[in-house]
Amino acid sequence: MVNQRFCIPFTGGLALGAVMGAGLALMFAPRSGLETRNLIMEQMKTLQDETKDKVTMLENQAGEKFHAWEDLGKETFEKQKQILMDAVTAKAAILPRE
Domain boundaries, the chain: 1-30, 32-98
63-97 residues labelled b (16+ CB within 10 A) or e (exposed): eeeeeeeeeeeeeeeeeeeeeeeeeeeeeeeeeee
Tens of pLDDT along 21-39? 887 876 777 777 788 788 8
Tens of pLDDT along 8-20? 677 777 888 888 8
Q: State the pTM of this model.
A: 0.47
